[in-house]
Amino acid sequence: MTMNERARAVLRGNDRGGYTIPTDGLYPYQWNWDSAFSALGFATFDRARAWEELEKLFEAQWPNGMVPHIIFRADEPGYFPGPSIWQADMGPMPSSGISQPPVVASVIRALAEAEPEQAAGFIKRIDAWHEWWHRARDPKGTGVIAITHPWESGRDNLPDWDRPGDMIDVSGVGEYTRSDTSLVDNDMRPEKQDYDRYLALVYFGRERQWDPEKIAVENPFFVADPGITSILLRAEKDLHVLARGAGHETARIEDRITRLENGLELLWNEDAGGYVARDMRSGDQSRRASAASFLPLYAGILTHKEELLTTLREFAERVRYLVPSFDPRDEHFDHIRYWRGPAWAMINFMIANGLRDIGEYNWADRIRSDTRELIRNGGFAEYFSPIDGRGCGGGTFSWTAAIWLAWELDE
């Protein structure tokens, strides 16, 4: 089988009937941004299936506009924490009570060129979701979007969440059995202290019926994320193109774009050489750059372009494969532990496309070819060591296969 054939087989194999799971066993439900990237992969060989994926994602949209991070369609007793722990039944079907990086508008814009009418059918629903991000996760209008749970960032155990996480009281968490560590090597997964915090935040949210207003005020964890903020800004710009093309009113979208463009500077950290998380309770900033530090470029923000390219060069001196998820010069860097160092195909895709769009072709090509080599050698793994290139975490992973196809890495 060619790599392209294998990639298609991974997506088909993870298809559960109109929606795609990230990988069997470890992640047996529909995850939000995984699903959006899967649609991008399907679009290269089955357009109808790509649109179906996106429809299925929005089927779970809450009345308040939120599109949840996990949709619990089938019952999978092997997964923890499942629907009975989340108790988030505010939407049309069981789901988690938080969201995930809003890449959907950007995916739909990519599909819209060939099928503008299909795309137009999503504009209102995307608009409601984007509006939710501003209202629920930036109620004071600072222009930066906060996450209320590390899982909401999509970058679960990034060291940026360590210090803000100290404020989380884990005394009520009690005993529990994780399912992930029996499926994947312990060294590659978040640690127990992280997991205690993840659960404490789930209990906190469910006690408030996942009410975003209460959560914005009371949640012990409310941390502005350069990842979500940049991905949303890029998505707002893509939504703007879709809305204008379909003849919709765009003033509201323009306001949101301006707010985010002005806000991002709050996350700039000169010493780190990048955009970093900011704890919105204490005002503290993270001290080190991460892969998300480069995403403002993907959102078209060029204010600190030169400094960011310097940081990227420094990263490149320390690792064989770009882009490590966390600064490889830091003591917390760990090349195989999830978001504390490893490289991820879909993050590379966004960073490289951003660099290409601003004319940084050499860097864009370097990241693309690193990604190709990682996947060729390491397989369709969940993520990769940026040091030795080994494939880590789960295997036969949807978004890695999708990026292989969407980026035409076979050429």
> Known catalytic residues?
156, 382
27 makes contact with ligand GLC (CB under 6 A): yes
* Alpha helix segments (H runs only) across 286-411: 295-298, 305-318, 345-357, 361-378, 398-406
Q: Which of 14, 28, 30, 31 binds ligand GLC (CB under 6 A)?
A: 31
Least gap, CB of 51 to ligand GLC (angstroms): 21
Which CB atom, from 340 or from 366, has the smaller least distance to ligand GLC? 340
Of the candidates 271, 275, 259, the residue with the CA atom closest to the CA atom of residue 225? 275
> Alpha helix (H) ranges present in 73-210?
83-86, 104-112, 116-120, 123-137, 150-153, 162-165, 180-183, 192-207
Shortest reach from residue 279's CB to ligand GLC, in Å: 20
In angstroms, give the least distance from the CB of 358 to ligand GLC.
25
Cα angle value 142/147/152 (rounded, 5°): 150
Angle between helices 345-357 and 226-245 (to 10 degrees): 60
Give min distance, CB of 284 to ligand GLC, in A.
23
Site for ligand GLC in 235-274 (CB under 6 A): none
Binding test (CB under 6 A) with ligand GLC, winner from 34, 138, 152, 360: 34
Tell me: does residue 407 bind ligand GLC (CB under 6 A). no
d(CA 332, CA 248): 47
Instruction: Specify which residues 70 forms β-bridges with.
Output: 31
> Could you give the 3-state DSSP secondary structure of residue 350?
helix
154 binds ligand GLC (CB under 6 A): yes
Largest Cα separation within the chain, whole Å, is 54
Which of 171, 182, 248 is closest to 204 using CA atoms? 171
User: Whole-angstrom Cα distance, residue 142 to residue 165?
Assistant: 21
Lay out the site mask for ligand GLC across 113-152 (x = CB under 6 A, - = otherwise): --------------------------------------x-
Region 43-62 residues binding ligand GLC, contact defined as CB under 6 A: none
Number of residues forming the site for ligand GLC (CB under 6 A): 8
Q: By CB under 6 A, is residue 22 in contact with ligand GLC?
A: yes
Distance CA 170, CA 193 (A): 9
28 binds ligand GLC (CB under 6 A): no
Take residue 39 and report the two structure tokens written for it.
């649609």
Nearer to ligand GLC, 156 or 370 (CB): 156
Nearer Cβ to ligand GLC (198/268): 198
Nearer to ligand GLC, 151 or 298 (CB): 151
Neighbours of 166 (CB within 10 A): 12
Shortest Å, Cβ 18 to ligand GLC: 18
| Structure letter (DSSP) for residue 224 | E
Applying CB under 6 A, which of residues 15, 52, 53, 156 lies at the interface with ligand GLC?
Answer: 156
DSSP tag of 88:
B
User: Which residue in the set 33, 133, 275, 326 belongs to the binding site for ligand GLC (CB under 6 A)?
Assistant: 33
Q: Of the two residues 279 and 382, which places its CB atom closer to ligand GLC in the complex?
A: 382
The reply to whether 72 sits near ligand GLC by the rule CB under 6 A is: no
Binding residues (CB under 6 A) for ligand GLC: these are 22, 27, 31, 33-34, 151, 154, 156
